[in-house]
Homo-oligomer: A and B are copies of this chain.
Amino acid sequence: MKSDDLLPKIDRRTLVSGLALLPAAGSLLSTPVRAQNASSAPLASWTDGPAKQAIIDFVRTTTDRLSPEFVAPEDRIACFDQDGTLWVEKPIYTQLVYCLDRVPAAVAQKPELKNQEPFKTVMSGDKAAIAALPLPALEKILTATLTGMSVNTFEADVAKWLHTAKHPRWDRLYTDLTYQPMQEALQFMRDGGYKTYIVTGGGQDFVRVYAQRVYGIPPEQVVGTMGGIKFGYTKDGKPFLTKEPKLLLNDDNAGKPQGIHLMIGRQPRAAFGNSVGDRQMLEYTGAGGGARLMMLVLHDDAQREYAYGPANGLPDSKVGAFTQALYDEARKDGWTVISMKNDWKRIFAFD
């Protein structure tokens, strides 16, 4: 009896010490606010169909030791675009809403901006004029509101803003507007031992503020557009970091595989996107051997969310573009298109 007793104990201790090594163990100990699966069945908010099946088949075939397409645990890397893939990107990117909201504070700190464009237009509150601002004007706004402050100040500002700013259509916090089926896909991939990364054109520092809380993804697994960082000291000699108005990497289009190489150093096995900005990431993911999963979210549900791009014959749109060319490439290369309308039973956790 004694030796029989001993065996399970040893195994349990080994398991517990193994769990202590898990970087994600923190999420088990703290209280994540992100939406949990509605039911214990995997991908419960997905309609049975080719999209759901593609995810299930991929995880099954790459995690089954007896499968010829088994993937070693350390190579299980899955990358997710954010805007339009994990949460709503319309009518404009959430980070851009933040930047526009921060303009008054930026002007208060630098009063000379008040009479300069595009700050004058933003301060006027003229929505049509603001919506018509060209890209160089937007870049000036990004620089004025995303750089020049310490990293800590920026993080505190973003966190504060996220607790009050609401989306005009749903009158809900932006962090409530993540897609429930994609939250389930993130969890399902992680349950299969995949390390989930956000690979976003958005600011790396911006997304990191809420990625753990909202998606269960720690800061080191957020790859985004990176700006320069300056190291300096406070008057009393304490080191701190300042966000500089210098672009290190635009993590969009060809920048996505570049960011993946810099931050991860391995080719992903799975990638999820929704626009031409994700094209190269999906191509790069698909370029390796063995089982690969490439998926694109198609916004074809004007009633529950938005419809844009080639779905329903709509013209190619500029922001978050799911162009006809992307659609054609997806078909040619065997990428799976996710129809929000048909593949998702519900869009948000609050639905």
Which residues of A pack against B, CB within 8 Å? Answer: 4, 7-8, 11-12, 14-15, 17-27, 29-30, 63, 72-75, 151, 190-193, 195, 204-205, 208, 212, 218-220, 222, 226, 228-231, 238-241, 248-249, 254, 257-258, 261-266, 280, 283-284, 287
For this chain, the copies found in one complex come to: 2
Q: In whole angstroms, how far apart are the Cα atoms of A138 and B18 in the complex? A: 44
7 pairs of A and B residues whose beta carbons are closest in the complex: A219-B265, A26-B74, A11-B11, A231-B254, A26-B73, A229-B258, A20-B193
* A26 partner, pick from B20, B72, B230, beta carbons under 8 A: B72
Residues on the B chain within 8 Å of A265, using CB: 204-205, 208, 218-220, 222
Residues on the B chain within 8 Å of A261, using CB: 151, 229, 241
Q: In whole angstroms, how far apart are the Cα atoms of A271 and B265 in the complex? A: 22
Contact B20 A212 (CB under 8 A): no
Contact B72 A21 (CB under 8 A): no
Q: In whole angstroms, how far apart are the Cα atoms of A63 and B26 in the complex? A: 12
What distance in Å separates the Cβ of A71 from its nearest Cβ neighbour in chain B? 10
Contact B287 A212 (CB under 8 A): no
What distance in Å separates the Cβ of A264 from its nearest Cβ neighbour in chain B? 5
Contact A22 B20 (CB under 8 A): no
Residues on the B chain within 8 Å of A219, using CB: 264-266
Residues on the B chain within 8 Å of A20, using CB: 63, 73, 191-193
